[in-house]
Amino acid sequence: MDQVEIFKALSNKTRLQILGWLKNPEESFPEQGTYGYADGVCVGQIQVKTGLTQSTVSEYLSSLQRAGLVTSTRKGQWTYYKRNEEAFTALSQIIQSEI
């Protein structure tokens, strides 16, 4: 787990918001309810919620994925993202032991 990469990813307000939304996707993205949340949330839904360009949102999600904070699943032309809860558990342990 690259701590520098993680804290870089967490240093952006929108990326933090995305992580918060992905924590409770049913509440944050109710419009996706028909399709379920097993694979995560479609990048298009995240893009609409942020109000940012698709390229900016893709870069933010890539940063979160490089840090190990989210995972992605590709289904056809769509990519779905969800939080990697194991990474948050490990991050909590790092913070408690080192900071």
pTM of this prediction?
Answer: 0.89
State residue 1's pLDDT score. 64
CATH code at 3-89: 1.10.10.10
Question: Cα(94)–Cα(56) distance, rounded to whole angstroms?
Answer: 29
Q: Who wins on pLDDT, 5 or 53?
A: 53
Q: Are 6 and 68 in contact (CB under 8 A)?
A: yes
State residue 55's pLDDT score. 95
* Paired tokens of 6: 């993680």
Q: What is the pLDDT of residues 45-77, one digit of tens each?
A: 999 999 999 999 999 999 999 999 999 999 999
Confidence label for 98 from pLDDT (cuts 50, 70 and 90) = low
The residues near 88 (Cβ < 8 Å, ≥ 6 apart) are: 69
Any idea where the domains of the chain sit in the sequence? 3-89
pLDDT at 99 over 60: no
State residue 95's pLDDT score. 83
The residues near 99 (Cβ < 8 Å, ≥ 6 apart) are: none
First CA to last CA distance, the chain: 16
